[in-house]
Amino acid sequence: MAARAYWQGQIRLALVSIPVEIYSASKSGAKIRFNQIHEPSGKRVKYEKTVPGVGPVDRDEIIKGYEVSKGEYVLLEDEEIEAVKIESRKTLELVQFVEACEIDPLYFEKPYYVAPKDDLAEEAFVVLREALRKSKKVALGQLSVRGSEKLVAIKPCGKGLLLETLRYADEVRNGQAFFDDIDEAKPKKELLDLATTLIEEKSAPFDASEFEDRYVDALKKLIDKKAKSKSKKAIIEDVDEPERGGGNVIDLMAALKKSVGEKKASGGKSGSKRKKSA
């Protein structure tokens, strides 16, 4: 089954318009999804749309409303919302170019692939891609999709382009407020050298396939075990808690030296396949 385009329109650079299609670059993993069950009957809990003093209502009786004051709403039909004219619904205009390092990772949200819509668009598409690659710049613009206008960044990605949606400034918290109580003192050189050595020994090229979701795997095993069990008794497995020790320099020094020593003793080889936690 062919992937459905997330957005179709045109990228515009000055007077040049390039018809494109945008596709999601991510997909849902093997997540465990739970339903809410009424325990006495074993049946699934369902939800009804209700109105106080009225009771259950049909979906076709529901419209959108914006609360302007307590209990007072401006009612809007779907057609009215759809009729709001925003140029970015069909055109993604590239309005600025920046160095990739200028965009803090905090702002990145979700990746998408951008491809030319047809053969006629391919030449201009390739020119834009190579111009971005040569200048080592990232293009910024905005596009409207599914009820909101997204700030986006575009950069080369193989033979195509990668578009990443960005958070707006008012959607990102200032992290310094959480760091105010951290001591500004520099660490001792020996501690820093040991930690740096450990980082260097554990450094390797990034490969996402090296990591798996351990939490999902554990849940699948629990579900399989519970399904085979005829009892409703809870299956509780002990999980090792991390050791709680002092946080003083002597403990830290010993722990770092031991970590570096263990790495050297093992010949610098990594252990079993790394897995990510959920």
Strand-pair category, 7-13 with 91-93: parallel
Which residue in the block uniquely carries the two structure tokens 């000055």? 14
208 in the Ramachandran plot: left (φ > 0), alpha (ψ -120 to 50) or beta? Answer: alpha
| 129 has pLDDT over 90 | yes
Q: Which structure tokens are listed for 197?
A: 């050595």
- Please name each of the domains of the chain with its CATH number: 7-28+84-171 (2.40.290.10), 183-265 (no CATH)
Provide the pLDDT for residue 271.
Answer: 45
pLDDT for 198-209, tens place per residue? 888 888 898 888
- Look at 213 and 59; give whichever has higher pLDDT: 59
Q: Please spell the DSSP secondary structure of 67-107, one letter per residue.
A: EEETTEEEEE-HHHHHT---GGGTEEE--EEEEGGGS-GGG
Averaged pLDDT, 162-184: 90
| pLDDT bucket at 272, cuts 50 / 70 / 90 | very low
Model's pTM, two decimal places?
0.73
Q: How far does the chain reach from its first CA to its final CA, in angstroms? A: 29
Neighbours of 167 (CB within 10 A): 14
147 sits in the region (left: phi over 0; alpha: psi -120 to 50; else beta) called: left
Query: What's the pLDDT band for 147 if we cut at 50, 70, 90?
Result: confident
The whole-number pLDDT of residue 221 equals 85
Token pair recorded at residue 38: 């009424």
Tell me the per-residue pLDDT of 56-109, one tens digit each, with 9 for 90 and over: 899 889 999 989 899 899 988 888 877 776 766 889 999 999 998 999 999 999
pLDDT given at position 245: 53
Query: Is the four-CA dihedral 24, 25, 30, 34 of positive or negative sign?
Result: negative
Mean pLDDT, residues 23-48 = 86
